[in-house]
Chain A
């Protein structure tokens, strides 16, 4: 049972369009993340947030932007999509477990194709 939801699951759009990938979680986690992944490659952190009104860029440079107005909602926006933005985008939230590890829970992902 998923506690973190991403929409759309699949999106095919033309170059220059503006898109927003939605991500919502029902677990009340303060920390949320966006990763980008291409087949056979590692997940790259592109944005993260440690709470409402807090957002930071990750290790991988990205032309996308994010917002965190509500704890449960962390949307990602591309103002003008390009073919180089074609990828899978994974949203996650996290909490510390009793083991001490900060465990990320991922959504099912949004696969974006820009023609």
Chain B
């Protein structure tokens, strides 16, 4: 039973425009949500997190928005750059443990 869902397998955006990656979850007991970026043949790298008691967190070009009532979060990348092309994973940290639950990822392609 997948508790973190990324329903868009891929997204293509022009350089300089905004990229919006979406994530839905089913477990109300998640404390934190995290976004990871993964290049081929590498491990995921941490990008940004948000507490379940916040609705927005910003770090440079990356902003994460959380809508608890809809059980939905999104990652905004502005402006998008070709180097942002990678697979982005949404992850959640349950209240009762330390390991993360991951979505299936969304492959972002930023074209020049």
Contact = CB atoms under 8 A, between A and B. Distances in A.
Interface residues of A, number: 30
B93 A90 contact: no
B98 A90 contact: no
A64 interface: no
Interface residues of B, number: 25
B99 A48 contact: yes
B3 to A, nearest CB: 10
Given A102-B93, A103-B49, A108-B41, A43 B102 contact: yes
A38 to B, nearest CB: 10
B44 A90 contact: yes
Given A101-B32, A101-B93, A42 B103 contact: yes
A108 B51 contact: no
Nearest to A48: B99
A106 B44 contact: yes
A101 B49 contact: yes
A90 B49 contact: no
A48 B97 CA distance: 11
Interface in A86-115: 90, 92, 94, 97, 99-109, 111
B89 interface: yes
15 contacts: A40-B9, A42-B89, A42-B103, A48-B98, A90-B43, A97-B49, A99-B51, A100-B31, A101-B32, A101-B93, A102-B100, A103-B49, A106-B36, A108-B41, A111-B41
